[in-house]
Structure 1
Amino acid sequence: MNQVSRQVVRPVRADEWPEVKELRLSSLQDPVAPIAFLETYEKAVAQPDSFWQERAEKAADGARVRQFVAEGPGGIWIGSVTVLIEDADSDDVFGGPVQQRQAHLVGVYVRPDHRGSGVIDALFETAVAWAWSVPDVTRVRLYVHEDNARAESFYRRYGFVRSGETVTMTGDPSKLEREMVLEER
Structure 2
Amino acid sequence: MRASDLMIRTTNEEDWREVRTLRLEMLRDTPLAYAETIEHALLVDETGWRLRAARGTTPGQTSVVAIDGQRWIGHMGGYIPDAATGPLLVGVYVTPDYRGETAGVTRLLLDEVEKWARRHSDTLRLEVHEANPRALRFYEKLGFTMTGRSREYELEPGGLELEMIKPLR
Q: TM-score, length-normalised on structure 1? A: 0.83
Q: TM-score, length-normalised on structure 2? A: 0.91
* 1:56–1:27 Cα change, 3 Å: same
* Contact 1:101/1:138 (8 A) holds in 2: no
Identity between Structure 1 and Structure 2 (%): 37
Which structure 1 segments of 5+ residues have no match? Answer: 89-99
* Contact 2:11/2:57 (8 A) holds in 1: no
Aligned to 2:36, the other structure's residue is in SS state: coil
Aligned to 2:80, the other structure's residue is in SS state: strand
**Partner residue, 1:91:** none
**Partner residue, 1:126:** 112
Match of 1:80 among 51, 75, 78: 75
Residues 62-98 of structure 1, C-alpha deviation per residue, up to 9 Å, x if partnerless? 41111000011x231100001102333xxxxxxxxxx
Match of 1:157 among 125, 137, 141: 141
Runs of 4+ in 1 over 3 A off after TM superposition: none
Aligned to 1:151, the other structure's residue is in SS state: helix
Q: Confirm whether residue 6 of structure 1 aligns to residue 5 of structure 2.
A: yes
Q: Confirm whether residue 50 of structure 1 aligns to residue 36 of structure 2.
A: no
- Equivalent residue letter for 1:168: E
Aligned to 1:141, the other structure's residue is in SS state: strand
Residues 111-161 of structure 1, C-alpha deviation per residue, up to 9 Å, x if partnerless? 111111211111111111211123xx2421000111111111111111100
Which structure 2 segments of 5+ residues have no match? Answer: none
Aligned to 2:14, the other structure's residue is in SS state: helix
Q: Confirm whether residue 38 of structure 1 aligns to residue 22 of structure 2.
A: no
Question: In the comparison of the two structures, how many residue pairs are matched?
Answer: 166
Aligned to 1:5, the other structure's residue is in SS state: helix
Aligned to 2:131, the other structure's residue is in SS state: coil
